[in-house]
Amino acid sequence: MKIHAGRGLRSRCGALLLVLCGVVAGYGSTAAAGNPPNYPTGAIERTYYANGPWAVTTQTAIACCDSSGNHYDVWYPTNLGDHGFQHPIITWGDGTIAVPAQYAMLLSHLASWGFVVIASESQTTGSGQEILDAAQYLVNANNDPSSVFYHKLATGQIGAVGHSQGAGGVVNAMINGNGLIKTVVTMEKPPQMFRSANAPCPSTGNIHQGSVFYINGSSDFLVSPSTQFPFLSGEQSNAAFYANTPGTIAKFWATLKGPNHNDVQGQPDCTAVASLCTNGVYGYLGYPTAWLMDRLQGDSYAHGAFTSPGGEIFGETTNWTNQIGNIQ
C-alpha cells in the first residue's frame, strides 16, 4: 500500500472500440501561450477549476476486494471531518483497460473539494457492480470504529463518475443501486452499439431517480458522438442519451470543444496519455466539480452554472457547445 499526501490538485464499452481507437489514434497539445487549453471563461467554472480548500491524501490498494476481486484506491481530505464536516462520497468507474492512477489528477481535484473518492482497480466496470461495491465499502467503513472514515462520511450523499466503459457503468450503478447513487457524471459514454457481455451499455430511459450530467469531447466523434450517425437507431449519441433520459430526472448535457476520448486521463496535459488525447484534463475539472458540489453538497453558487435558461454554462461558447438541461 502506498500513501501520498499533497494538495489536491481506454477505454470503451466492448471489444469493438479498441479497433476504432486504433483508427483515430494520435494526440497533441493545443495549449496557447498563457492559459492552458479549455481554460474557463466564466466565474463559476473558474472557481471549481481551481483546487479546493482541502489537502488531499492518496491511498492505493487499501483493501480487498470488490465482487470481482479488485482492490480499491482512495483520494480523501487529509483532515477528515474537520469542524464536523461530513464528506460526500464519489465512486469512480475506470474505462476499459484503464486503472485509477490514470485519472489521478481529476480524482485528487475532486477530493480537494471535500469529497472522499474511491475507485475499484477493475478495468471492466461497465456492469456498474464494482462501482457500487466501492461505494458500499465506504458506507461500511463509516460504521467501522477502526476505519479512518468512521463517522466522517455523508453516506446519504453518494455520486458516481466514470469514463468510457465506466461512464456506462455509473449509469448502471444508479439504475441498479436501489437509491444508493444520487447523481452521476458520464465522461465520453459510448453508444449502445458497443455493448458486450462484460460492458452492458444501459438505456438511459431506465433512469428513474437521481440526476445526470453527460459530458463528451467534440473530437470524440466515433466513441462518444454528439449526434446520431444517420444509419443508426437507438441510444447511439449523447443527444440520444439526454433525450431518452426521462424529463422527471434532473439532467444536463454539454460538449467540450476540442477534447478526444482520453483527455480526462491528462496529468494535466496529454504527455503521459497513450492516444486519443488533444487538450488534457483541464476542461473536465470545473463544471463537473460544480455539478457534484451542487448535487451532493448543496452549493447554491455552483447550482447557478446549470439553471435553465440563464445558467453560466449556457453562455460559455468558447469551450462548450450543445448545452441543454432542465435544471431549475
| Bridge partner list, 64 | 71
At residue 57 the predicted structure's pLDDT band, cuts being 50, 70 and 90, is very high
Tens of pLDDT, residues 247-272: 999 999 999 999 999 999 999 999 99
Which triple of cell numbers denotes residue 237? 449519441
Asked whether the CA dihedral 227, 228, 234, 236 is positive or negative, the reply is negative
Question: What's the angle, vertex CA 48, arms to CA 29 and CA 190, rounded to 5?
Answer: 60
CA distance 322 to 238: 10
The SS3 of residue 292 is: helix
Residue 106 has pLDDT above 80, yes or no: yes
Q: For residues 135 and 91, is the Cβ–Cβ distance under 8 A?
A: yes
Asked whether the CA dihedral 44, 7, 160, 294 is positive or negative, the reply is negative
Residue 17 has pLDDT above 70, yes or no: no
Residue 29 has pLDDT above 90, yes or no: no
CA distance 176 to 180: 9
Q: What structural domains and CATH numbers belong to the chain?
A: 3-325 (3.40.50.1820)
Q: For residues 121 and 192, which has the higher predicted lDDT (pLDDT)?
A: 121
- Gyration radius (Cα) of the chain, Å: 18
Which triple of cell numbers denotes residue 254? 454539454
Q: For residues 164 and 199, is the Cβ–Cβ distance under 8 A?
A: no
Average pLDDT of the residues of the chain: 88
Tens of pLDDT, residues 59-69: 998 877 777 78
Q: DSSP readout, 131-180? A: HHHHHHHHHHHTT-TTSTTTTTEEEEEEEEEEETHHHHHHHHHHHHTTT-
Strands 211-217, 183-187: pairing kind: parallel
Residue 87 has pLDDT above 90, yes or no: yes
